[in-house]
Amino acid sequence: MRIGVIGLGAMGLGIAQVFASVGHAVFATDAQSGARASARDRLAQALAPRVAKGVLSVDDRAALLSRLTVVSRVEDLSPADLVIEAVVERLAVKQAVFGVLEPLLSPDAVLATNTSSLSVSSIAHGLSRPNRVLGLHFFNPAPVMKLVELIPHAGTDATAMGLVRGVTEGAGKTVVTAPDRPGFIVNRCARPYYGEGLALLEQGRSAAEIDAAMVAAGYRLGPFALIDLIGADINLAATEGLASAMADHPRYHIFAALRAQVAKGDLGRKTGRGFVMGEAPPPSDAAAIALRIEATLVNEAAWLLAEGGVSADDIDTAMRLGLNFPRGPFEVLAGYGREKVRETLAALEAEAPAYLKGRYAPAPMFA
């Protein structure tokens, strides 16, 4: 299949690698001449560790690189059957890119967006063939992360979905169908992991002990180590985006501790100072901390499920692969049982200050 990629930043180049590595011809472009000129070298560099380890032969790397054609004009993407855009996260820019591309492509070609926070239907709006538009959300780094969220909007054709699912699975990815709702699956269902950790922090618990409780429960990284890894600024922006898209619902409350961290510039790994400055053993109530955080993870997933367009299995798969969680929220639910989750949410609601009570309102399956 001929695949086009627009935007050769971190994501676009990674996506180009994913498809070129399984034999597809990839045509790629970027608005910046520097990004175009450096793309091949950056890809070669990205592959270097695999060549050094002997996982990829020098010949295979050369073959992979030969499948990437960097073009300077958008018109040169016209033979593509599927074009994936990974340009800057701005609605007007993405709409303009698709507006220019659509008349150049065959009527059956599919336009996919790698947006992480914009609505797919708003990107498709105004095009002649919105039925050929969908979201294809890769995670960073695209060549490493197994998960891809496939996001139809209300008018996306089943044939476009099938074509993109097939080619993406063929590139070794696990594809889940996500609804065209804010945060899709992973970025939304992850919120309570951080939010409930921050609620505990504001109640006087330390970041290190909260993290230790989650590690003891089987999570590879606690919420604060994860925030430090990704960056408190990125976490704040993601939470703010979701909060505003969800009418400031208290489930997406922005905790003052997170804002303060960003205001201080203690963004985590990239600035050398973060939430977790040392290790702690799991506290004596580690199981209760894990139950609290997991009950809110389950509740968020249950709200998403109730809104429709997604299956419990896909939510579980997405949370395991997208966040490296040891189990998905519905597997967590099966472990605790409905009654335990219901009781935990009710106790949290009873204890919460008025402005946070709505955070613990149980999803329909617990009501």
Catalytic residues: 116, 137, 149, 187
Among 22, 55, 62, 88, binds ligand NAI (CB under 6 A): 88
Nearer to ligand NAI, 145 or 280 (CB): 145
Q: Which stretch binds ligand NAI (CB under 6 A): 17-25, 111-119, 256-264, 266-274?
A: 111-119
Does 178 bind ligand NAI (CB under 6 A)? Our answer is no
The strand pair at 147-152 and 133-138 is best described as: antiparallel
Identify residue 95 by its one-letter amino acid code. Answer: Q
**Residue 133 DSSP SS3:** strand
Q: How far apart are CA 301 and CA 295, in angstroms?
A: 10
DSSP letters of 141-203?
STTT--EEEEEE-TT--HHHHHHHHHHHHHTT-EEEE--SSTTTTHHHHTHHHHHHHHHHHHT
Does 240 bind ligand NAI (CB under 6 A)? Our answer is no
Polymer length in residues for the chain: 367
Among 5, 80, 84, 97, binds ligand NAI (CB under 6 A): 97
Residues facing 6 on adjacent strands: 29, 85
CB of 353 to ligand NAI, least distance (A): 34
**Residue 295 DSSP SS3:** helix
Among 5, 6, 295, 297, binds ligand NAI (CB under 6 A): 6
Q: How far apart are CA 82 and CA 239, in angstroms?
A: 31
Does 9 bind ligand NAI (CB under 6 A)? Our answer is yes
Which has the closest alpha carbon to 343: 288, 305, 306? 288
Tokens of 292: 């609290």
CB of 71 to ligand NAI, least distance (A): 11
Among 3, 4, 5, 12, binds ligand NAI (CB under 6 A): 12
Nearer to ligand NAI, 78 or 206 (CB): 78
Q: Which stretch binds ligand NAI (CB under 6 A): 6-14, 221-229, 264-272, 334-342?
A: 6-14
CB of 225 to ligand NAI, least distance (A): 18
Left, alpha or beta for 135 (phi > 0: left; psi -120 to 50: alpha)? beta
Nearer to ligand NAI, 35 or 133 (CB): 35
CB of 292 to ligand NAI, least distance (A): 28
Among 17, 21, 114, 235, binds ligand NAI (CB under 6 A): 114
Read off φ and ψ for residue 362, nearest 5 degrees.
-70, 140
Q: How far apart are CA 162 and CA 164, in angstroms?
A: 6
The 19-38 site mask, x for binding ligand NAI (CB under 6 A), equals: -----------xxx--x---
Nearer to ligand NAI, 45 or 140 (CB): 140
Return residues touching ligand NAI (CB under 6 A).
6-12, 30-32, 35, 86-89, 93, 97, 114-116, 138-140
